């Protein structure tokens, strides 16, 4: 007696019979399709597909508008209390993101010297927040027009954002080195204080 063909196809449906595995050819074909989908997903992330529509959405605009209002009206450029950074509170050194909130707030208050002292990347983040917030007020037709113009540059915008974030991290590591080396210009970071010229000029 011969053993049943586990890979036989049903003559009625042309599919594998119930309980039998699909033919190796179909397995390879499905695996190839799955690989193609993964490749397309990776490629889409590298090209930042859909970035323009995300930036110009009312959701992004509303969040940015709330952040701008909070920084310009509620928060103080000199900070609203002790640092909440665990690294600074335990080791006495700032993390790469330390000072970013105060830098953005200082920028929104027009105190750009303070902003650069807290974190030189703050003014760029503040400008991005303001521009995104303006998109909240755009009518649908204007938003669609802008999205059509910006979409071809999704990759440029996306990689620019990535470079800025990388620069923020590199600057943070360099700043930690300045604090640990005892550089007097960065000594105020160890005490969770503010730059000396900010303390003397703050109202």
pLDDT of residue 104: 93
In the prediction, which pLDDT does 92 show?
78
Tell me what pLDDT residue 93 has.
84
121, 103 in Cβ contact below 8 A? yes
Residue 49 falls in which region: left (phi positive, over 0), alpha (psi -120 to 50) or beta:
beta
Instruction: Assess if residue 40 is contained within a domain.
Output: no
- What number of CA atoms fall less than 13 Å from residue 58's CA on the CB side? 5
Angle between helices 154-180 and 24-47 (to 10 degrees): 70
pLDDT at 83: 67
Q: Which residue's structure tokens are 């700043």?
A: 175
| pLDDT score at 48 | 81
Q: Would 149 be classed as within a structural domain?
A: yes
Q: What is the pLDDT of residue 82?
A: 62
Is residue 22, in this structure, part of any structural domain at all? no
Give 16's strand partners: 9
Number of domains the chain is built from:
1
- The enclosing H or E element of 28 equals helix 24-47
pLDDT for res 23: 54
CA gap 125, 76 in Å, rounded: 17
Any domain includes 134: yes
pTM of the model as a whole: 0.70
Range of the domain at 171: 51-188
Mean pLDDT per 10-residue run, the chain (203 residues)? 50 53 54 56 64 91 95 82 73 86 92 90 95 92 92 93 94 91 84 67 57
107-111 long-range Cβ contacts below 8 angstroms, 24+ apart: 108/68, 108/71, 108/72, 109/72, 109/77, 111/77
Structural domain includes residue 103: yes
- So what's the pLDDT on residue 35? 56
Percent residues over pLDDT 90 in the chain: 42
For residue 82, being part of any structural domain is answered with yes
Q: Residue 30 domain-assigned?
A: no
- The pLDDT value given to residue 50: 87
Q: Residue 193: inside a domain, yes or no? A: no
């Amino acid at each position: 007696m011969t053993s049943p063909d586990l890979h036989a196809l049903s003559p009625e449906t042309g599919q594998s019979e119930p309980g039998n595995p699909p033919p190796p050819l179909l397995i390879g074909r499905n695996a190839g399709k799955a690989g193609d989908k993964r490749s397309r997903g990776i490629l889409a992330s590298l090209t930042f597909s859909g970035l323009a529509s995300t930036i110009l959405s009312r959701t992004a605009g509303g969040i940015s508008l709330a952040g701008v209002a909070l920084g310009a009206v509620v928060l103080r450029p000199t900070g609203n209390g002790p640092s909440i950074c665990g690294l600074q509170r335990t080791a006495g050194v700032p993390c790469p993101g330390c000072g970013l909130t105060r830098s953005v707030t200082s920028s929104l208050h027009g105190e750009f010297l303070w902003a650069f002292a807290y974190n030189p990347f703050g003014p760029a983040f503040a400008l991005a927040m303001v521009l995104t917030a303006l998109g909240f007020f755009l009518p649908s037709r204007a938003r669609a027009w802008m999205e059509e113009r910006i979409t071809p540059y999704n990759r440029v915008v996306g990689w620019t954002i990535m470079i800025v974030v990388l620069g923020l991290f590199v600057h943070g590591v360099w700043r930690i080195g300045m604090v640990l080396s005892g550089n007097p210009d960065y000594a105020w970071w160890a005490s969770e204080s503010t730059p000396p010229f900010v303390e003397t000029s703050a109202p």
